[in-house]
Structure 1
């Protein structure tokens, strides 16, 4: 059993290692990017990565406080589903608002890797190998798709 401090420390070590691993990788437009805290440039639309005790995931999260705008952003993302899945080379799970816990309002599009544990370093290469191509793929998708979102807000 780990203490809360040990869990936080291990996760911080993992994300630091991930950051160093990704540091030399430029964005799709050639500029430097903070991969862990990727900025989409659209308020309330985020690229999120998680590494936990039993899974790792990467997602696009729409968490706009105005439900109508959140729905509009999700609809725009659905319009670009083919482009997204073509860029990523795989299908992701599309999770509408009514299937997300109330405290995590909004919409989500995600890919999960089960049966990995960020607290065990032997899984780190597998988690990094899962996250790396997907965040790079999201960046490549976003370099073209973001313009379709800018006019919505």
Structure 2
């Protein structure tokens, strides 16, 4: 078992390594970006990447406090489902009004890879290989679809 401090350091080391690995990769507009802290530029819409003890995941989270507005954003995203899945070449899990780890109601679209453990440095290449193409695909998708969300 790891102490809280050790766990925190390992997670920080992973995200630092991921950031360094992704640093030379430009975004869809050809600019440098902080991939591990990707900013969508739209309030209450986030790209979330997680690396945990038994899985890694990436997704789009809609966190608006107003359930109706959250649903409107989600439905707008749902309009672009085929484009997202074409960009990523895979089917993602779509969830409206679910509870997150902090018991907040959110809506999300995500892809999860089970059996990966951020605490095992041997899994880091597999986690990075899972996250990298998907965050790049999300960026390309978002570069084209963001205007539709800015108008809401």
Shared fold (TM-score, shorter chain, > 0.5):
yes
Q: CA RMSD in A?
A: 1.0
Q: Which residue of 1 aligns with 2:18?
A: 18
What per-residue deviation string (whole Å, max 9, x for no partner) do you get for residues 124-144 of structure 1? Answer: 000000000000000000000
Number of residue equivalences = 151
Q: Which residue of 2 aligns with 1:144?
A: 144
Question: Structure 2 matches for 1:52-91, cutoff 5 A?
Answer: 52-91=52-91
Q: Which residue of 2 aligns with 1:27?
A: 27
Residue 96 of structure 1: SS of its match in structure 2? strand
Runs of 4+ in 1 over 2 A off after TM superposition: 99-102
Q: Which residue of 1 aligns with 2:9?
A: 9
- CA–CA distance in 1 between the matches of 2:16 and 2:61? 22
Task: Tell me the TM-score normalized by structure 1.
Answer: 0.96
Q: Which residue of 2 aligns with 1:123?
A: 123
Deviation of residue 68 (structure 1)? 1.3
Deviation of residue 7 (structure 1)? 0.5
Q: Which residue of 2 aligns with 1:112?
A: 112
Q: Which residue of 2 aligns with 1:100?
A: 99
Residue 107 of structure 1: SS of its match in structure 2? strand
Deviation of residue 104 (structure 1)? 2.8
Q: Greater strand share, 1 or 2?
A: 2
Task: Tell me the TM-score normalized by structure 2.
Answer: 0.97
Runs of 5+ unmatched residues, structure 1:
none
Residue 103 of structure 1: SS of its match in structure 2? coil
